[in-house]
Amino acid sequence: MALHIHEAWILLFVLPGLVTPAAISHEDYPADEGDQTSSNDNLIFDDYRGKGCVDDSGFVYKLGERFFPGHSNCPCVCTEDGPVCDQPECPKIHPKCTKVEHNGCCPECKEVKNFCEYHGKNYKILEEFKPSPCEWCRCEPSNEVHCVVADCAVPECVNPVYEPEQCCPVCKNGPNCFAGTTIIPAGIEVKVDDCNICHCHNGDWWKPAQCSKRECQGKQAL
């Protein structure tokens, strides 16, 4: 009985020496997650081609199912060839649109410019204004400014004056004309010197005065 026990102890000491590191296979011990990542540079994803469609967030849709992918607001249908998306003919955005929303399949104008801009100032639709004494303007519904410039009549004097806030010049001293370099009032004959009497043309105030010689009243040289 003692002999059998002694032989068993000998086997226990001998067997560990017979087991070498080469005898242990990697298949016997599964590698940890870090080893697997280092050995596989490219991760393998499920292939849904011909089976379904995947949106930008990774959600899978079945064949024939309608969905909205993240890159488009238009609905798509999942097919074996991939998503087939609607491409509607969207209405054109108003050129005066100042706020566009893209929440739907087509962009939508939410705010249109409702004012006119003229010389750096804004005016409401149908608002009338005078940027200068000779201009009358209005802001049209088309956001365009239409102006009318006053057409001034020819002044009846040779020395018109421009008053503040008035468009056309005025003759403060009434109609007149030139007699040489002298301004004479219209409607009366004016003796401009000892020999000449002048008067303005009727209605043609810009023309020189008509003058006629009379008997000179100055002293005659001896």
CA 108/CA 111 separation, integer angstroms: 9
CATH 2.10.70 fits 115-149, yes or no: yes
- List 149's β-bridge partners, or say none: 135
More confident position, 24 or 210? 210
Residue 48: its pLDDT value, please? 62
> Which 3 state secondary structure label does DSSP give 67?
strand
CA torsion, ordered 33, 36, 38, 41, to nearest 10 deg = -120
Query: Is residue 71 very low, low, confident or very high in pLDDT (cuts 50, 70, 90)?
Result: low
In tens, the pLDDT along 180-194 reads 888 999 888 888 888
pTM for the full model?
Answer: 0.39
For residue 147, give both structure tokens.
Answer: 């102006």
Q: What angle do CA 83, 84, 85 make, to 5 degrees?
A: 110
Least confident stretch, 100-114, 115-129, 152-166: 100-114
Look at residue 12 and tell me whether its pLDDT is greater than 60.
no
Q: What are the boundaries of each domain within the chain?
A: 52-112, 115-149, 155-215
* Percent of the chain residues topping a pLDDT of 70: 73
Residue 194: its pLDDT value, please? 82
Look at residue 129 and tell me whether its pLDDT is greater than 90.
yes
